[in-house]
Structure 1
Amino acid sequence: MTDLNQINAEGFAIINSVYTENEIEKLISLIESVTENNIENNTKNTTFRKSQDLFAIRQFHKELPQTLPFIFNQKLKSIITENFGEGYFITKSIYFDKPEKSNWFVAYHQDLTISVNQKLEVKNFKNWTVKQNQFAVQPPTAILENNFTIRIHLDTTTKDNGALKIINNSHSKGVYKVDDLAIENETICEVEKGGIMMMKPLLFHASNKTTNNERRRVIHIEFSNQQLPNGLEWSEKTVLKN
């Protein structure tokens, strides 16, 4: 089964060895230098979130644009083109750092919202929220079905340090409540350091607490190739350079 066939059938695919050890270490170095600078200068940057169980950087590709040439190496660009085609751009990105002793876990859910530049009354766009001047909305299902996510693993991720677990093919049934979810055909998505996981937003996914005292760092990037209607714009839209 090809990666695209697996994504369509199961909602996800894992590809290891997308990045070399040197590329991963460069990404880690760039992230750590920005993180340390924010902490040392006590910068109250609202896109940075730090707690005992999680460190996160929202709008990651805008906060650390210097990482993009390393993220989008030739391998990743070829993977995107071969599986999804041309014309895709970044719509959202988050960096997650789950520490060694983290008790943080996430229950089963679908990724139902997108980040936009303003709140407008647009047909079939609903469940508006705003946090730290960032608008989010649930778009029509057709938009979500066409989008995809790539998760870049800076550490080896296993069932013991919070690897995503998913319900196979749960993306194919549209949007529905977690209460209606049948927990069957569950897969734990273990990914090697330097590997990626590709997934569809409507795929139900979750993650457990860390039990093996090993860190888990992931760069989560969402993509679309669609223009939003009626003057609505993707707030984090970034077109990739060839």
Structure 2
Amino acid sequence: MDLAVKSKEIQELGFSVIDDVFTDQEVEDILAAINRTDSTKETFRKSDDLFAIRQFLKEVPETIDLIFNGKLKHIVKGVFGEDYFLVKSIYFDKPETSNWFVSYHQDLTISVNQKVEIAGFGPYTNKHKQFAVQPPIDILESNFTVRIHLDDTNEENGALKVIANSHSKGIYRPETIDWNVEKEMSCNVERGGVMIMKPLLLHSSGRTSNNKKRRVIHLEFSNKILPKELKWSEYLSLM
């Protein structure tokens, strides 16, 4: 695993895929911990098309040591640096017959503990008792996301489709995409692999058509200290 190559890919394309970060047994252990969790809590979202756990590592803390194995820590520190820490975690379970899809967008918000009027931060939203806010663009440009795939994922069961290098163009409204210029790519990932992406990368997800699950753990990382009035809603040091 040449992390210099992966780092260059992320810088140029906005994403990279790394296989074999988790063994089959490690994946099974993570899934077993999830299955033991009480799914009636407010931070859980359940429908025919999607099962999600917000603040995942807070709700299922026994997965922390399983997720942050030696390989993942090496990747995070080697690609981004020693000063990065976790600021958000979500678990997504897209069932075999899901019609749930997400159109092209950038991830323009961060999760914080409260609403405070601070220059450069806004607008705010509050969903399921979770505050989110659009921060200054330098925070979004330095943050990154790791998506751990617990199932083989391709175009037929919701692999992310992305527009390469769109992360380098600032706030990029999806309605302005010029398909004569832009190129769509499918980020297929094998079970136990990870996809790393920048929040400003335009991405989407299609419906499931092959009757196969797509379970993903979505982790966001930052090295930015927020203004003292604000705190990240989640914080986990990798040291």
TM-score by length of 1: 0.94
Structure 2 residue aligned with 1:91: 87
Aligned mate of 1:71, from 49, 67, 92: 67
- 1:158-212 deviation line (CA, Å, top 9, x unaligned): 1000100000000000113111122321110000000000000000000100000
Is it true that 1:140 corresponds to 2:136 in the alignment? yes
C-alpha separation in 1, matches of 2:156 and 2:102: 14
Contact 2:167 2:202 in 1 (8 A): yes
Contact 2:166 2:172 in 1 (8 A): no
Contact 1:122 1:230 in 2 (8 A): no
Q: Unmatched 5+ residue regions in structure 2?
A: none
Structure 2 residue aligned with 1:168: 164
Partner letter of residue 22 of structure 1?
Answer: Q
Count of residues paired in the alignment: 234
> Alignment identity in percent?
58
C-alpha separation in 1, matches of 2:25 and 2:228: 44
Structure 1 residue aligned with 2:35: 32
- 1:115-157 deviation line (CA, Å, top 9, x unaligned): 1111111111111111222111000000000000000000000
Cα RMSD of the aligned pairs, angstroms, is 1.0
Aligned mate of 2:13, from 3, 10, 13: 10
C-alpha separation in 1, matches of 2:19 and 2:178: 29
C-alpha separation in 2, matches of 1:10 and 1:157: 20
Partner letter of residue 174 of structure 1?
Answer: G
Offset at residue 230 of structure 1 (A): 4.0
Structure 1 residue aligned with 2:54: 58
Q: How does 1:182-197 map to 2 (within 5 A)?
A: 182-183=178-179, 184-197=182-195
Is it true that 1:110 corresponds to 2:106 in the alignment? yes
C-alpha separation in 1, matches of 2:71 and 2:234: 24
C-alpha separation in 2, matches of 1:182 and 1:50: 36
Question: Which runs of structure 1 show a deviation greater than 2 angstroms over 4 or more consecutive aligned residues?
Answer: none
Contact 1:150 1:220 in 2 (8 A): yes
Q: Unmatched 5+ residue regions in structure 1?
A: none
Contact 2:151 2:191 in 1 (8 A): yes
Aligned mate of 1:220, from 197, 218, 221: 218
Structure 2 residue aligned with 1:20: 23
Offset at residue 90 of structure 1 (A): 1.0
Contact 2:171 2:200 in 1 (8 A): yes
